[in-house]
Amino acid sequence: MNVTVSRKAHFNAAHRLYRKDWTDEKNSLIFGKCSNPNYHGHNYELIVSVTGEIDKETGYVIDIQFLKDIIKEEVEDAFDHKNLNVEVPEFKDLNPTAEHIAVVIYNKIKPKLKPNLHLEITLYETPRNFVSYSGK
Amino acid sequence: MNVTVSRKAHFNAAHRLYRKDWTDEKNSLIFGKCSNPNYHGHNYELIVSVTGEIDKETGYVIDIQFLKDIIKEEVEDAFDHKNLNVEVPEFKDLNPTAEHIAVVIYNKIKPKLKPNLHLEITLYETPRNFVSYSGK
Amino acid sequence: MNVTVSRKAHFNAAHRLYRKDWTDEKNSLIFGKCSNPNYHGHNYELIVSVTGEIDKETGYVIDIQFLKDIIKEEVEDAFDHKNLNVEVPEFKDLNPTAEHIAVVIYNKIKPKLKPNLHLEITLYETPRNFVSYSGK
Amino acid sequence: MNVTVSRKAHFNAAHRLYRKDWTDEKNSLIFGKCSNPNYHGHNYELIVSVTGEIDKETGYVIDIQFLKDIIKEEVEDAFDHKNLNVEVPEFKDLNPTAEHIAVVIYNKIKPKLKPNLHLEITLYETPRNFVSYSGK
Amino acid sequence: MNVTVSRKAHFNAAHRLYRKDWTDEKNSLIFGKCSNPNYHGHNYELIVSVTGEIDKETGYVIDIQFLKDIIKEEVEDAFDHKNLNVEVPEFKDLNPTAEHIAVVIYNKIKPKLKPNLHLEITLYETPRNFVSYSGK
Amino acid sequence: MNVTVSRKAHFNAAHRLYRKDWTDEKNSLIFGKCSNPNYHGHNYELIVSVTGEIDKETGYVIDIQFLKDIIKEEVEDAFDHKNLNVEVPEFKDLNPTAEHIAVVIYNKIKPKLKPNLHLEITLYETPRNFVSYSGK
């Protein structure tokens, strides 16, 4: 029996959409106000979903406390109250679009899970815009 | 890397569940109060989800502003503050169940997207009832 | 000890903003698309809030089941899946703005409560627009 | 055309995570405060999602009123305001983790549906923790 | 300038509505299924609202981290994953209705605040039922 | 009959808690990670509530479209996708705490309303932290 277990988490961060190898004009043309050089920010809402077989001993797919701890270490401690462009190494040369942030979070959490567990990341950049990524 | 990008939108409309080729009695028998001849209405909440590869230039699957514009033109301008049965041509001979509305929205948005993008429509008729359709 | 007890409820209805004593042109000028003669509709979300002393016997301000029953009889049975303009007598000569609907609901529920209880009605017409009225 | 129709429902219940065949110490070690012998509880939010072809007569995948009735009989009447460990037979020898509750709900609802309909159960144990199961 | 600062928090607990000085029959008659002797439970959502003048130094009415710490110590540590009737001393002889829980929380938090700060407690027992109390 | 009409709106912004007249050490000591010199950010959710008599002609307290336009001009155009500390003149010498942002929004909107209308601003800095101000 395969069940998906999901945990919601949260972090606040500043960012701008920006490519170093483009001129400011091109950044502004393509990304509009999202490329404001002074940054803007979001309350990012995160859903981490792990799919796998129910463990016959515990009745768990994964201990939700263990999952909370991974999310805290890999995402909240790394991203919360940070400027993604300036302070988070993964975005030094990667434009912090919601798509890329979801991929980065996936790549940080996946190695912490048992290999047979499937992972999906859903990230709300605003209450109306969100993305999801599952490693495919 | 395939990511799904979702955008929420909203429209208010009146409708009734009704088939022209059925008697009023049969409409009332099958659809109950949802077939009230004087109409009732809903705040429809819409989620438009587009799946595809991340563009290497922009870091986007799709420019969310472009997606917003499509939703506005194809759905909000066409359905908002309207009577679906009376004023929306797609429902002239199609019973406006949530299922059918989702299919109609899919069919209106899909041709506006690049062919390699996968589309899913989720439509909340009420906060407790919702449907989704992805063209299959 | 005065406590406020609130109960959420829900009804779907069609309506249009319209005054019979105005021309169609004036209705359209003042109320815009909300005056569409073919109606539009909403999922109205209702919060009924009752304030009073905690009963020493029960520990209740009001039995929430009793409050649910009043809301069902006075609001849900009367308004749900209805056309407010056409089928609800209170709006025969009263423009069904959110403000007026809240006042009508207040006036229907207040007499069902013990006189020493204070009542407030909050009505969401959409997730972004809402009104409240407390009889003042 | 395959559409998924979802209905939200709700029940409140007490439970504890507990295996009869383990000592109290082991239960406490593995399940922590969730194994409190005096129980704790949740407002479980349930989403029942049914996927199938749109019926050409009605425009429905499934009559939502029929689905509501099944959920009421199989889940709400059986679980609401109950102690899952003590009063719900399915958990007599099954640890009531969110994963197991979702599987039990699936197994209760699936036989009530036409065999060609696909079923998925999503169960929120808290606003931040939820699971889903679709019989695979 | 008086501003109200609010913080949301959360705890899960089991309870039953019950008066020791009443017979089981009377408890059952008055409180219905809420008096189930085996308990049921809720995800209680709490809003703690503090009103006062903005401090000219900090621009805060109250440091939200300080408020979080008070809520954790006085409410979450005391109530979360507990059986309110059995394990929380304040309800030893007090029926744990939502009204009484809000009053108890008020009385626990108020002495921790500077005396000139006004306090209001809002407590959701379910997403549809909630109460508020401000010491009057 | 006095009714309160509320409209929700939204803006994203970067900010840091910071007083120019304090050393970096003192800013960091008092405001912690909220004073990060590289900024962080939020999706601010705004509720603008206007209380007044129902107009006998229109049945409105205020035309919600007019209120939307004021919010757009005074708040969204001024704050959305901006760095509050750097780009919004009101915060040049004012620490952009949630309390101060609410007061600034109040002071921008109040003069646009008829003087007999009462105004309250509620501002969510995160889904769990919010403030409200009504000019007192």
Tokens matching residue B64: 């969310």
Which DSSP state fits D76? Answer: I
Q: Which chains touch D (3 or more CB pairs under 8 A)?
A: A, B, E
pLDDT value for B106: 98
Q: What is the mean pLDDT of residues F5-20?
A: 98
Burial state string for A7-43 with b = 16 or more CB within 10 A and e = fewer than 16: bbbbbbbbbbbbbeebeeeebbebbeebbbebbbbbb
* Residue of C11, C12, C80, C123 to mutate, testing the B interface (most B Cβ within 10 Å of its Cβ): C12
With CB atoms and an 8 Å threshold, state whether F60 touches C131.
no
With CB atoms and an 8 Å threshold, state whether F82 touches A36.
yes
Q: Nearest CB to E43: which of D43, D80, D87?
A: D43
Q: Give per-residue pLDDT as tens, D1-10.
A: 999 999 999 9
Q: Nearest CB to D102: which of A3, A8, A58?
A: A3
Q: Residue F20 burial by CB count (10 A; 0-12/13-18/19+): exposed, middle or buried? A: exposed
Q: Give per-residue pLDDT as tens, B116-129.
A: 999 999 999 999 99
What value does the CA radius of gyration of chain D take, rounded to a whole number of Å?
A: 16
How large is the ipTM?
Answer: 0.96
Residue A56 DSSP SS3: coil
pLDDT value for E57: 96
Average of per-residue pLDDT values in chain A = 98
pLDDT value for F63: 97
With CB atoms and an 8 Å threshold, state whether A54 touches D99.
yes
Q: What is the mean pLDDT of residues E74-82?
A: 98
With CB atoms and an 8 Å threshold, state whether F41 touches A41.
yes
Q: Residue F5 burial by CB count (10 A; 0-12/13-18/19+): exposed, middle or buried? A: buried
Q: Enumerate the residues of chain F whose CB falls inside 8 A of the CB of residue E7.
A: 128-129
For D2-133, which CATH class?
alpha beta
pLDDT band at C53 (very low <50, low <70, confident <90, very high): very high
Q: Enumerate the residues of chain F whose CB falls inside 8 A of the CB of residue E59.
A: 17, 94-95, 97, 99-100
Q: Enumerate the residues of chain A whose CB falls inside 8 A of the CB of residue D32.
A: 65
With CB atoms and an 8 Å threshold, state whether C131 touches F64.
no
pLDDT band at A99 (very low <50, low <70, confident <90, very high): very high
**Which distant-in-sequence residues (6+ apart) come within 8 Å of A29 by Cβ?**
none
For residues A39 and A74, the answer to whether their CB atoms sit within 8 Å is no
pLDDT value for B63: 97
Which DSSP state fits B117? Answer: -
The Cα–Cα gap between A104 and C11 comes to 43
**Pick from D114, F9, D111, A99: which is nearest to B4 by CA?**
A99
The Cα–Cα gap between D15 and D90 comes to 13
The Cα–Cα gap between B82 and B76 comes to 10
Q: What is the DSSP string of A58-122?
A: TS-SS-HHHHHHHHIIIIIHHHTTEEHHHH-GGGSSS---HHHHHHHHHHHHGGGS-TT-EEEEE
| Distances, alpha carbon B116 to alpha carbons B61, B113, C64, D93, in Å | 11, 8, 53, 49
A81 is catalytic: yes
* Residue of C99, C100, C126 to mutate, testing the F interface (most F Cβ within 10 Å of its Cβ): C99
The Cα–Cα gap between F98 and F131 comes to 7
With CB atoms and an 8 Å threshold, state whether E38 touches D126.
no
pLDDT band at A47 (very low <50, low <70, confident <90, very high): very high
Q: Enumerate the residues of chain A whose CB falls inside 8 A of the CB of residue D120.
A: none
Closest residue, chain B, to A95 (C-alpha): B59
* Residue of A15, A104, A128 to mutate, testing the B interface (most B Cβ within 10 Å of its Cβ): A128
pLDDT value for E85: 98
Q: Enumerate the residues of chain F whose CB falls inside 8 A of the CB of residue A39.
A: 14, 39, 41, 83
Would you kindly state where each structural domain of chain C is located, as residue ranges?
A: 2-133
pLDDT value for F38: 97
Q: Give per-residue pLDDT as tens, E85-113.
A: 999 999 999 999 999 999 999 999 999 99
Q: Nearest CB to C58: which of E30, E131, E133?
A: E30
CA distance from start to end of chain D: 22
What value does the CA radius of gyration of chain E take, rounded to a whole number of Å?
A: 16
Average of per-residue pLDDT values in chain D = 98
pLDDT value for A60: 98
**Pick from F85, F129, F117, F126: which is nearest to F104 by CA?**
F85
Average of per-residue pLDDT values in chain C = 98
**Torsion sign across C-alpha atoms F106, F107, F108, F109:** positive
pLDDT band at E45 (very low <50, low <70, confident <90, very high): very high
Q: Enumerate the residues of chain C whose CB falls inside 8 A of the CB of residue B86.
A: 38
Q: What is the mean pLDDT of residues F93-107?
A: 98
Tokens matching residue C88: 């609800």
Residues of D with CB under 8 A from a CB of B: 1-9, 54, 58-61, 64-65
Q: What is the mean pLDDT of residues D27-31?
A: 97
Chain B: give the shortest CA distance to residue C12, in Å: 6
Q: Which of B10, B53, B73, B81 is catalytic?
A: B81
Q: Enumerate the residues of chain D whose CB falls inside 8 A of the CB of residue E81.
A: 33-34, 36, 40
Q: Which of E10, E34, E42, E57 is catalytic?
A: E34
What percent of chain F is predicted at pLDDT more than 70? 100
Q: Which residue has the tokens 């003149």?
A: F89
**Which distant-in-sequence residues (6+ apart) come within 8 Å of E63 by Cβ?**
none
Amino acid occupying residue A80: D
A15 is catalytic: no
Residues of E with CB under 8 A from a CB of F: 1-9, 54, 58-61, 64-65
